[in-house]
Amino acid sequence: MSVIIPRQFPNTRLRRMRRDDFSRRLMREHTLTPADLIWPVFILEGENQREKVPSMPGVERMSLDVLVEEAREAHELGIPAIALFPVVNNDRKSELAEEAYNASGLVQRAVRALKSAVPELGIITDVALDPYTSHGQDGILDDTGYVANDRTVETLIKQALSHAEAGADVVAPSDMMDGRIEAIRQVLEQEGLHNTRIMAYSAKYASRYYGPFRDAVGSAGNLGKADKSTYQMDPANGDEALQEVAMDIAEGADMVMIKPGMPYLDVVHRVKSELQVPTFAYQVSGEYAMHMAAFDNGWLDADSTILESLMCFKRAGADGVLTYFAKRAARLLTQ
């Protein structure tokens, strides 16, 4: 329990230390650097392709050749890792998401290309089935339309293994199936992939902030009016997040993810302070889109607001942030 020392005015004037830049810097409790940022990117088939995402101004889907050049720049800016999210053609989608573990699939080829071109850059892959399913859910459906947990985990194991074998540094299960971390860890160990890290999306909420992301990867149309409340967390729950994180760490996760970000900073803080594990947060597509709308309308100053929003994550306890602002923020931080 911390002790608060009683202070009295005027002997204590807290504004004294705010008077000048040097003293503000000396007492600053948290810092933000490019090393705190992970850049999420959308990849698609083809060559020399860039497609704008209408609901995410400034964000593009990129073909692999374009991605490699962008990744080089991200590395030069000091960003330690990027996270890959595929845009899968409809003819590759199916009820059972077989394309997810295709050794020659889009993500697997992207990993190999990036590790060859920029070997020092960390590559994180999304382990989830929604880009690959014809129904847009993150798993395999049973006869009633319910996402079958254990059947889904069987496919997630294959997907994670295919990513690791391609050279992914980190596999990131974002599906929220029970038991998938332990199952993936066991297979990675069996295959000698001892150093493949697992970033578990341990507290991923059934949020309305994901809409632009689903547009970007092309799963919104497949999902339709359905939702993911039977496996993603209820936004009303905080204690449950601690339980999810503790289970994933016990099952072999190396780090955990809270998603969305700013609306759930209380969860980030609790996870970091109570469980003291490597904790990351995702400034998701809806958060990005809201910021961009305010910037485009002149309602907020872009550069200072971006950095303030990211500092909030650090203050809450996050070790790093997945953000679409990563490159822009890194440039600002290195000016």
1 pLDDT higher than 70: no
CB atoms within 10 A of CB 87: 18
Identity of the amino acid at 47: E
Residue 135 or residue 237, greater confidence: 237
By residue count, the chain amounts to 335
Percent composition of the chain: helix, strand, coil (DSSP 3-state, to 5): 45, 15, 40
Is residue 225 part of the annotated active site? The answer reads no
Least confidently predicted of 85-89, 135-139, 238-242, 313-317 = 135-139
Catalytic-residue membership of 115: no
Contacts of 176 (CB under 8 A, 6+ apart): 138, 201, 204, 228, 231, 232, 233
Long-range pairs for 102-110 at CB < 8 Å and ≥24 separation?
A: 102/162, 103/162, 103/165, 103/166, 105/162, 106/43, 106/44, 106/45, 106/64, 107/43, 107/163, 107/166, 108/162, 108/163, 108/166, 109/64, 109/166, 110/43, 110/64, 110/67, 110/84, 110/86
Digit-coded pLDDT (tens) for 214-247 = 778 766 666 666 788 999 999 999 999 999 999 9
Secondary structure (H, E, C), 67-101? HHHHHHHHHHCCCCEEEEEECCCHHHCECCCHHHH
Q: Which residues pair with 281 in a beta bridge?
A: 258, 321
- Would you state the pLDDT for residue 326? 98
Q: Which backbone phi and psi does 223 adopt, to 5 degrees?
A: -70, -35
- DSSP state string for 137-204: -SS-B-TTS-B-HHHHHHHHHHHHHHHHHHT-SEEEE-S--TTHHHHHHHHHHHTT-TT-EEEEEEEE
| Average pLDDT of span 311-331 | 97
**Running DSSP on this structure, what letter comes out for residue 331?**
H
Confidence of residue 212 (pLDDT cuts 50, 70, 90): confident
3-state secondary structure of 285: helix
pLDDT tens by residue, 144-165: 999 999 999 999 999 999 999 9
Of 93, 204, 272, 314, catalytic: 204
Q: Which position among 93, 259, 314, 327 bears the catalytic label?
A: 259
CA distance 138 to 230: 11
- Strand pairing category for 122-127 and 170-173: parallel
What's the whole-number average pLDDT of the chain? Answer: 94
CA distances 301 to 219, 262, 285, Å, are 32, 18, 19
Prediction pTM value: 0.94
Burial class (CB in 10 A: 0-12, 13-18, 19+), 1: exposed
Q: pLDDT tens, 75-122?
A: 999 999 999 999 999 999 999 999 999 999 999 999 999 999 999 999
Any idea what the Cα angle at residue 317 is, between residues 130 and 256, rounded to 5°? 30
How many angstroms separate the CA atoms of 198 and 42, rounded?
20
pLDDT in tens, 55-73: 999 999 999 999 999 999 9
pLDDT of residue 220: 60
- Measured in whole angstroms, how far is the alpha carbon of residue 85 from the centre of its chain? 10
> How far are the Cα atoms of 12, 142, 235, 260 from residue 217, in angstroms, in the given order?
54, 24, 23, 17
User: Measured over all CA atoms, what is the biggest interatomic distance in the chain, rounded to whole angstroms?
Assistant: 72
The pLDDT of residue 172 is 97
Give the lowest-confidence range in 50-59, 182-191, 222-231, 305-314.
222-231
Within 8 A by CB and 6+ apart from 296, the residues are 57
Q: State mean pLDDT over 248-263.
A: 97
Phi, psi of 334 (to 5 degrees): -105, 5
pLDDT of residue 219: 66
Mean pLDDT is lowest, of 104-113, 119-128, 203-212, 289-298, for 203-212
CA angle in degrees (0–180, nearest 5) for 100-101-102: 100
In the predicted model, what is the mean pLDDT of residues 176-198? 97
Per the CB < 8 A criterion, the answer to whether 232 and 174 are in contact is no
Query: Span 132-144, mean pLDDT?
Result: 92
